[in-house]
Chain A
Amino acid sequence: MKSFFISLSLLFSSVLFSANLTDYIPSNATSVFCINFNQLNQKSKGMDYLKYLNKFIGENYYYGSSSCPLIKLSEVINLPGSYGLDINSNAYMYYKVGKAFNGKVYLFQLSDAKKFETAMNASCDEPIEKVMKQQGDITLYMTEKQVVGIKNNMAFIFINDRYEFRDYNEEEVIDAMEETPAYEGDYDYEYDRYSYGKEPYMDSIYHQELKAARKFSDSLIYVKFNKNKSLDFGEELNKYEYVDTGILYRAKRRETERKIAALNLKFEKITREFEILFAPQPASMMQNRNFSRLDNDKNDMYFFYNTPIDFMSNYMSPFSRRYSYDKVPKDNTPVKQVYTADISGSYTMNFNNGEVKINTFSTFGKEAFEYISKAYELKQNKNLFKYIDGSNLMAYISHSSNTKELVKFYEKFYFELLNNANLGERDEDIVPSAELLWNMLDKDMLFGTITNQWILAVNGMIESKVTFKTYDYDEDFKRTERMDERIVKQPRMVLAMAINHQENAKKLFEIIGKYKYFEKLKDNVLHLKPSRDFQINLYIFITEDAMVVTNDYNLAMNQQSGVEKDKMLSKDEMNFMLEHNVAMKVYSGKLLTSINDNFPSDSRQMKRITNFASSMGDLVFHDTKPANNSYGIEATLKLQNTSDNSFYQLLKLMNVNEK
């Protein structure tokens, strides 16, 4: 019975103290990235994959005189054991746009919190400008660039997007612009031989001490010269210019003290905000059903973007003051959201046996989704198939969507965004101006001429002539310059776009043909002449059903009605394009063989590509039908070896290629 109670109490305590990191992610975080260490550890079969995360973490920016940041994230990731990180659980990163700060927050589960704290404090072998606070059960460390919170078995690392913590409002920005310099040295336009310079540590005490020291050496220097006439004046003057290390040391120490005092003051002001940020969120991201579903799906990695209006108005609207200090959303601004509401999206990556699957999903509000679903009702135009030579197809992408429906959505979306944007007083007229301009545009011409039904394909290689200069030598080796020609191979490329309005398309074609860069080869064929910067022969031709851009002369001049029957696309390819609004295939094997045949090279880089590509199967990419307010895309990268996990296979390949 006793053991039962002990077990029960242990169970309760573990439940009470086990932290679910997702409860700490606020619902208004603009994006969340999650990596499932546990699954990846198993799939990697012990191979080190953490080193590849460095690229995504990027550099640690720091502030202050130290060369170290408070915490080196790449070190934490690469040496999880030394930092007491529990790499059998998920780690999260989310992006937070706040009033006082913007930045990324990393959340890690710890197996040994003490170890984490000790390793962090020992990571830099020189003193750094930081302050520490214990607030209840959370220990907070802060620099201008980072805030680290350690709570039970969790670590929170906040990386400030801004150069330092500042809570500016518009008046303060203007004040800051008109601010008088902090140090007297800044305005020493008239040369003062006793004290000059404007480094941050050069405060008034520094200048006073320097002045006194120089005056003192002034009095000595003349005595010195009088005593010894052979003294080198230049050398003595150089000695004079040296600043006494004692003065420098004291000035720099004062500067550090000032910075730490300022940091303490700032920290006093914002500690509460970080306490709230690093606490379980009353409105956590798990309340978002799309996020909750994504997290429960146990993906190897995922990225979720949540687009609250604050984020959209600051980052997606071209007129918002993204880089100014007054971008903080105004609380009292009425926000009316219909088409910008409930938008979120996700990317997931899962490593299965013999394949990597990447999925994306975008979720819209009810009103917006009506347009989206209508836009993707349009199937691919069958008339385009005849322009694609299927006999040596290496890669293609096919797209079909109803431009008019999409434009209707984007019109509503952007004008709603603009109306809700955090615009400065001077920019408020932008909204009616944009509306005026938009209404004056000929939308039939813009969006109705060439519909959003197109196929871009790469099939085989074509040869084209390139001229170059070279030299001939006579029997006495006298040099003469001459022009020569060589054949270069280029991938054959075809872009076929369906025409919706023949008359408008012809009008556009005629206007384009007037540019001096084009020559007319036929009434319906334009040739873009190679120029210094664009050395490819490109042909544009227009038919009853399509506008085609290609570098294949034969297709443009002799095959306008389509390729020969025996070279048509296979039925499978046509069906794949008809079934999906977005369809893409890359035949890696064919593509690689063609590259090796046409551009032979035994360079190390080519060997790497060959090595990598020989393990690859085909890449297939297609959309999923719009449903349940969502629209998505699924990409599958196949590998030749279907029995081993793709993560392990890719890591092995990457390791070989590193050597």
Chain B
Amino acid sequence: MKLKTFLLVFPLVFLSSCFEFIEEVTYTDSEKGQCLITLNCSQSKIKLKNLMKLDTFMGLNIPSTGQVQNDIIKAKKLIGEIEGIHTVVATSDFDNFIFTVKFNFDSTASLNKALNAIAKVESTRNPIPYYTIYEKTEGQFSRLNVPDDSTAAKAVRQGNLSLISGATATAIYRFAQPVKSISNSKALISKNKLAVMLKQPVADIVKKPSLFSNIILFK
């Protein structure tokens, strides 16, 4: 999942300092699976509740609850229209500021299309090119290095990265076949060898998107 997408969909996350972004991709066989994207801003809920009473803060437009909900509905609709995507469920909890999108996919290509569709929802003003995020072959799964150029550059330029110093991004990939090796030294392989987890600070990923990439080889 492109982190940039979430930064665009929820400009609030930039102001929430502590949030968890979790992408979970669970393959049920070699092609099909389920994807769950979670954005948990629960730690910053007080700040967000106060901020949402404003229209703008520090030059960023603060979306209203209705706007955020609209974007989620739009994203859900767009994903649902993609061939090979089923059972799209989106939840939003404005008490704890936790947002999720869950869907089943028939192939990795459909999964990529779905994630790009979410990016499209909020990128009408600054269109994001289509990126291949995941690649899967018989013996390998790759989480590719998605250049997050404009958002990252803007944040670094404005010296705003410290605002999200407490935020983390977690990727969990589960497979039907055991994992042999991983390319990212920060990633962990589960005890049953069927899952890989990688957790990184968001500020670091924004500066160096390759920190979130990984090549996983299967036995």
Contacts and interface: CB of A to CB of B under 8 A. Distances in A.
Interface in B193-219: 194-197
A330 interface: no
Contacts of A508: none
Contacts of A323: none
Contact of A469 (B46, B98, B190): B98
B46 A477 contact: no
Nearest to B53: A533
Contacts of B158: 603-604
B32 interface: no
A605 B160 CA distance: 8
Contacts of A477: 172, 174, 188, 190, 195-197
A489 to B, nearest CB: 11
Interface string B121-161: 00000000000000000000000000000000000001110
B187 to A, nearest CB: 11
B159 A470 contact: no
A469 B42 contact: yes
A268 to B, nearest CB: 45
A466 interface: yes
Interface string A336-347: 000000000000
A602 interface: yes
A533 B159 contact: no
Contact of A470 (B20, B45, B188, B197): B20
A468 interface: yes
B49 interface: yes
A96 B41 CA distance: 52
Dominant secondary structure of chain A at its interface with chain B? mixed
Interface in B1-57: 20, 22, 24, 40, 42-43, 45-46, 49-50
A603 B192 CA distance: 43
B40 A470 contact: yes
A33 to B, nearest CB: 28
A55 interface: no
Contact of B195 (A476, A535, A604): A476
A486 B43 contact: yes
A603 B163 contact: yes
A471 interface: yes
A601 interface: yes
A469 B174 contact: no
B34 to A, nearest CB: 13
A425 interface: no
A473 B168 CA distance: 15
A603 B160 contact: yes
Interface in A457-515: 466, 468-471, 473, 475-477, 479, 486, 488
Contacts of A473: 172, 197
A468 B97 CA distance: 10
A476 B160 CA distance: 36
B162 A470 contact: no
Interface in A515-574: 532-533, 535
Interface size class of A (residues with CB under 8 A): 20 to 34
B49 A470 contact: no
A476 B163 contact: no
B49 A475 contact: no
A604 B163 CA distance: 10
A250 interface: no
Contact of A471 (B22, B49, B50): B22
B46 A488 contact: yes
Interface string B169-200: 00010100000000000001011101111000
A607 interface: yes
Interface size class of B (residues with CB under 8 A): 20 to 34
Contacts of B58: 605
A533 B50 CA distance: 8
- Residue from A469, A470, A602, A603 having most chain B Cβ neighbours under 10 A: A469
Contacts of B172: 473, 477, 479
Contacts of A479: 22, 24, 172
A468 B93 CA distance: 12
B96 interface: yes
A603 B159 contact: yes
B43 A601 contact: no
A476 B192 contact: yes
A473 B43 CA distance: 18
Contacts of A605: 58
Contacts of B95: 532
Nearest to A599: B17
B194 A476 contact: yes
A475 B162 contact: no
A468 B43 contact: yes
Nearest to B159: A604
A603 B203 CA distance: 13
Contacts of B159: 602-604, 607
A475 B192 CA distance: 8
A506 B197 CA distance: 59
Contacts of A471: 20, 22, 40
A466 B46 contact: yes
Interface in B72-90: none
Given A477-B190, A532-B95, A468 B162 contact: no
A486 B188 CA distance: 27
Interface in A594-624: 601-605, 607
Contacts of A603: 158-160, 162-163
- Residue from A475, A476, A533 having most chain B Cβ neighbours under 10 A: A476
A479 B96 CA distance: 18
Contacts of B174: 477
27 contacts: A466-B46, A468-B42, A468-B45, A469-B40, A469-B98, A470-B40, A470-B43, A475-B191, A476-B190, A476-B192, A476-B195, A477-B174, A477-B190, A477-B196, A477-B197, A479-B22, A479-B24, A479-B172, A488-B46, A533-B49, A535-B49, A601-B162, A602-B159, A602-B162, A603-B158, A604-B160, A605-B58
Interface of A: 466, 468-471, 473, 475-477, 479, 486, 488, 532-533, 535, 601-605, 607
Interface of B: 20, 22, 24, 40, 42-43, 45-46, 49-50, 58, 95-96, 98, 158-160, 162-163, 172, 174, 188, 190-192, 194-197
Nearest 8 pairs between A and B by C-beta? A468-B42, A604-B159, A475-B191, A535-B46, A477-B195, A469-B42, A476-B190, A468-B43
